Amino acid sequence: MIETANQKTPLHALHIELGARMAAFADYDMPIHYPAGVLAEHLHTRKFAGLFDVSHMGQALIEGADHATVAAFLETLCPADFLNLAPGRQRYSQLLNDDGGIVDDLMVTRPPGADGALRLVVNASRKAVDYALIRRRLPSSIRLTPLPEAALIALQGPMAAATLARLAPGDGLETMPFMSARPARVMGFETFVSRSGYTGEDGYEVSLASSQAESFARILLAEPDVAPIGLGARDSLRLEAGLCLYGHELDETIDPIEAALSWSIQKRRRMEGGFPGAGRIQGALANGPTRLRVGIRPDGRAPARDGAEIVSPDGAPIGVVTSGGFGPSVGAPIAMGYVARAYTAVGTPIGLVVRGKPLSARVAALPFYPHAYYRSQARNG
């Protein structure tokens, strides 16, 4: 079936003007690539700065009387420690079902100067499911407020910080710690900026009013190092960075430990539990999961796509590829997938069934391409 799109982001007209090839994604008409093509866009982001339209993502606020109240509520849905999240800091976590499976992965920010509020960014394809889940659990003292009139623009790459610093001189955006967030006035626009993103590069995500998004994007694109980047390169960048994509590496049958996301569950929550599926997740932490997300390097040049069967050297089924393709910065095919526990060690030989034929491969360390997040002033949050 051909997916059709019913919604457009505030930058839709700009994408068309820039010559983007558009396609449906999560019910939105989104740019897959521009005339330069996926390869050029990928390499530009690694060397300079890429502008990504991520306005299809869901942005929302959870608000209550104070931080402790709101954090305690969200901790009944997610395994991260939000109680100790400092003002102006951000955490990656997961919404869980009753069995500990991942309903969605999301970013949670505690805005500075707004005691009693947590800001969420959730996946476009899951926001209706997420909001319904949260509303079913909401006590009367807490409210969920989606922000459909807020656009979201990501600026990613080694020149992202210098670019924003030129456009907001004296604001200190270039020295913001990784995984921090705060309001900022950029080029006269009132924005909420986080130093985060999903490419493995240094960069920012900028939330602002939808009515101002196109003007903001045009100013960024006029900068010498900035180019528009579509979903094709966004996917190859996040794959090289070893980052999960919902519907591929994550779904409601997979728990965070199987997904190799145990780092996102802080010590207090591991010990205390109190989140959905805590028994399953604590058991997997203690004893190891029966399957695990791993990196995969095919030995040849043929890529393995999602859905390809993974087999042991003697041909027994041991898992499945969840994402795969060519890594432009790696210069070789790469993939991620789930394999049985006995085959998770880096260097383990495995086979990938491509077009009915087993191709030799090996388990590889993640990420495939080194992360370049801004770390010099980062602190635990």
Residue type, 109: T
Give me the mean pLDDT over the 55-59 stretch: 98
Closest CA to 28 of 55, 1, 66, 67: 55
pLDDT digits (tens, 9 = 90+) for 1-47: 456 778 999 999 999 999 999 999 999 999 999 999 999 999 999 99
Helix axes 38-47, 231-240, angle to 10 degrees: 60
Residue 378's pLDDT band, with cuts at 50, 70 and 90, is very low
Q: What is the pTM of this model?
A: 0.96
Residue 377 has pLDDT above 60, yes or no: no
Location of structure tokens 């900028």? 206
Quick one: pLDDT at residue 381? 39
Pair of tokens at residue 86: 């400092």
pLDDT digits (tens, 9 = 90+) for 181-192: 999 999 999 999
pLDDT digits (tens, 9 = 90+) for 262-279: 999 999 999 999 999 999
Quickly list DSSP for 354-372. ETTEEEEEEEE-S-SS---
Pair of tokens at residue 157: 């790459």
Supply the mean pLDDT for the chain.
Answer: 96
For residues 25-56, one letter each, b for 16 or more C-beta atoms within 10 angstroms of the residue's C-beta and e for the rest, the string is: bbbbbbbbbbebebebbbbbbbebbbbbbbbb
Residue 108 has pLDDT above 70, yes or no: yes
Q: How far is CA 163 from CA 38, 169, 185, in A?
A: 22, 10, 14
